[in-house]
C-alpha cells in the first residue's frame, strides 16, 4: 500500500492558490510520519511552468485541453482515474469552492472517506491524526485519518503557506489524462466586480461583524476606519442584512484579503470568514466572547465591548495624528 501523500494543486487564471502551499505544508508533516513522498497533482492545459515553487517531492502534471478550465465533472473523472490507479494514503484538497466540490464527488465515486474543514494534521505514535473545525469553528474534532485511503479538505489557519514553498522546481512527471467530455461546459468567465473599493488591495481594513447589531452603528466603524486611513469591510451577516454592499464582503463567498492590519470587530471567526484573512500581516480581534475562534488566528485581541472601544479608539487615533 502506498504511503504517499497527494496534494491537488489548486489554481485559477494562471495563479496557484495560496491554499495549495498550506496543503503542501500539511502534507510534509504527514509524509514524515507515513514514510511516503509528497506528490503534487496539477491538472490544466499549458500549465508547465506553473507550481514551480510548491514543496512537493515530485509533481504529476496532467495537461489536456479538456482541463483548461475548472469543469467539476471533467476534473473529477481525471482525478478518479489517477487516484484509483496510484492509491495514495491521503489526498489533500483545499476546502474551497473548487476543492470541496472535487473532494465530495471523489469520495462518493471512489468510496474513500472524506474529512472536511480539516485545520491541522499531526502524527502520534505512527497514527495520522486530523483536527477538524466544526460548527463554524466552535467544535474542534480530533480523529484518526481513516486507512487505507482518505481524502482531506483543509481550511487555512493550521499551517503557514511559506512552509509549503520550495526555492528549486520539483521533478515533474507527465501523466496521461483520463478527462472525459462531461455534461458541463464553460461559456464565459466573469471577473467579479471590484465595486467602490477593492478590499483585496487595501492596507488597513476595519472589518465589522454581526456584533455591530444594526445598520446605524456602521457609521461609528466608518469613522474609525477614516481615522486610521483604512476602509470598512464586513462578514457575511452584515452584507446579507444590506448594511454594507457585497463588494465589502470578506470570506469564502466574498474576497480574500491581505492587509497590513485587519481589525475584526464583533466577528466570531467562522471558517468561511477566517480562510480569507490568514494572509493579513496583523489581525487584531475585538470580541466579548473569549472563546471565539477569531482569537486563534489574531495576533492581538481584547474582550472589550466594541461599543466602548471604537469611539475611544477613534478619538485616540485622531489625537495621535494632530
Ligand atoms: C457556504 C458558506 C459560505 C460562507 N461565506 C462567508 C463569507 O464569505 N464571509 C463570512 O463572513 N461568512 C461566510 N459564511 C458564514 C459564516 O459561516 C458565519 O456565519 C459568519 O462568518 C458569521 O459572521 P459573524 O462573525 O459576523 O457573526 P457571528 O458568528 O454571529 O459572531 C458575532 C460575534 O460578535 C461578538 N460580539 C457580539 N457583541 C459584541 C460586542 N458588543 N463587542 C464585541 N464583540 C461582540 C460575539 O461574541 C460573536 O463572536 C458562509 C457560510 C457558508 C455555509
Question: Separation of 198 CA from ligand 1 center, angstroms?
Answer: 21
Rounded distance between C-alpha atoms, residue 73 and residue 13, angstroms: 19
What's the pLDDT tens digit per position in 99-149?
999 999 999 999 999 999 999 999 998 899 999 988 766 788 999 999 999
Nearest CA to ligand 1 atom 49: 268
Q: What is the CA radius of gyration of the chain?
A: 21
Nearest CA to ligand 1 atom 9: 251
Question: Separation of 117 CA from ligand 1 center, angstroms?
Answer: 16
pLDDT of residue 82: 96
Ligand 1 site-directed mutation target among 236, 245, 275, 283, most atoms within 8 Å of CB: 236
199-321: CATH topology is: Rossmann fold (3.40.50)
Nearest CA to ligand 1 atom 38: 211
CATH number for region 5-174:
3.40.50.620
Q: What residues flank ligand 1, with Cβ below 6 Å?
A: 136, 209-211, 235-237, 249-254, 266-268, 270, 272-273, 286-289, 292, 305-307
Q: What is the DSSP letter of 322?
A: -
C-alpha cell at 198: 477593492
Give pLDDT tens digits along the chain (322 positions).
799 999 999 998 899 998 999 999 999 999 999 999 999 999 999 998 899 999 999 999 999 999 999 999 999 999 999 999 999 999 999 998 899 999 999 999 999 999 999 999 999 988 999 999 887 667 889 999 999 999 999 988 788 889 999 999 999 999 998 767 778 888 888 876 656 788 999 999 999 999 999 999 999 999 999 999 999 999 999 999 999 999 999 998 898 899 999 999 999 999 889 988 988 999 999 999 999 999 999 999 999 999 999 999 999 999 998 8
C-alpha 67: how far from chain center? 22
Specify the pTM: 0.74
Q: Give the helix ranges, DSSP H, for 59-215.
A: 72-86, 97-110
- CATH 3.40.50.620 in the chain, residue ranges: 5-174
pLDDT of residue 195: 64
Nearest CA to ligand 1 atom 48: 268
Report the C-alpha dihedral over residues 294, 295, 298, 301, rounded to 10 degrees: 120
Query: By the 8 A CB rule, do 8 and 22 touch?
Result: no
- CATH 3.40.50.1220 in the chain, residue ranges: 199-321
Question: Separation of 225 CA from ligand 1 center, angstroms?
Answer: 20
Query: By the 8 A CB rule, do 7 and 38 touch?
Result: yes
Residue 60: which of 34, 29, 83 has the closest Cα? 83
Query: By the 8 A CB rule, do 44 and 67 touch?
Result: yes
Amino acid at each position: 500500500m502506498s504511503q504517499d501523500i497527494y496534494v491537488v494543486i489548486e489554481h485559477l487564471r494562471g495563479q496557484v492558490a495560496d491554499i495549495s502551499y498550506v496543503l503542501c505544508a500539511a502534507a510534509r508533516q504527514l509524509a514524515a510520519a507515513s514514510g511516503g513522498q509528497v506528490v503534487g497533482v496539477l491538472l490544466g492545459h499549458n500549465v508547465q511552468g506553473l507550481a514551480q515553487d510548491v514543496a512537493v517531492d515530485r509533481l504529476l502534471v496532467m495537461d489536456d485541453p479538456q482541463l483548461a478550465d475548472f469543469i467539476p465533472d471533467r476534473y473529477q473523472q481525471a482525478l478518479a482515474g489517477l487516484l484509483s490507479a496510484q492509491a495514495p494514503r491521503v489526498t489533500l484538497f483545499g476546502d474551497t469552492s473548487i476543492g470541496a466540490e472535487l473532494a465530495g464527488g471523489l469520495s462518493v465515486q471512489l468510496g474513500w472517506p472524506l474529512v472536511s474543514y480539516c485545520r491541522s494534521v499531526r502524527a502520534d505514535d505512527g497514527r495520522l491524526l486530523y483536527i477538524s473545525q466544526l460548527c463554524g469553528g466552535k467544535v474542534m474534532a480530533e480523529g484518526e485519518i481513516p486507512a487505507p485511503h482518505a481524502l482531506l479538505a483543509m481550511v487555512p489557519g493550521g499551517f503557514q503557506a511559506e512552509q509549503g514553498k520550495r526555492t528549486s522546481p520539483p521533478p515533474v512527471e507527465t501523466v496521461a489524462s483520463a478527462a472525459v467530455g462531461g455534461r458541463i461546459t464553460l461559456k464565459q468567465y466573469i471577473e467579479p466586480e471590484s465595486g467602490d473599493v477593492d478590499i483585496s488591495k487595501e492596507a488597513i481594513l476595519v472589518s465589522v461583524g454581526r456584533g455591530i447589531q444594526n445598520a446605524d452603528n456602521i457609521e461609528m466603524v466608518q469613522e474609525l476606519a477614516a481615522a486610521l486611513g483604512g476602509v470598512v469591510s464586513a462578514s457575511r451577516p452584515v452584507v446579507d442584512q444590506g448594511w454594507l454592499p457585497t463588494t465589502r464582503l470578506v470570506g469564502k463567498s466574498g474576497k480574500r484579503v491581505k492587509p497590513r492590519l485587519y481589525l475584526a470587530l464583533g466577528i466570531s471567526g467562522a471558517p468561511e470568514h477566517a480562510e480569507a484573512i490568514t494572509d493579513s500581516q496583523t489581525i487584531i480581534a475585538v470580541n466579548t466572547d473569549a472563546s471565539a475562534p477569531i482569537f486563534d488566528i489574531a495576533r492581538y485581541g481584547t474582550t472589550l465591548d466594541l461599543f466602548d472601544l471604537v469611539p475611544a479608539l477613534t478619538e485616540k487615533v485622531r489625537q495621535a495624528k494632530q
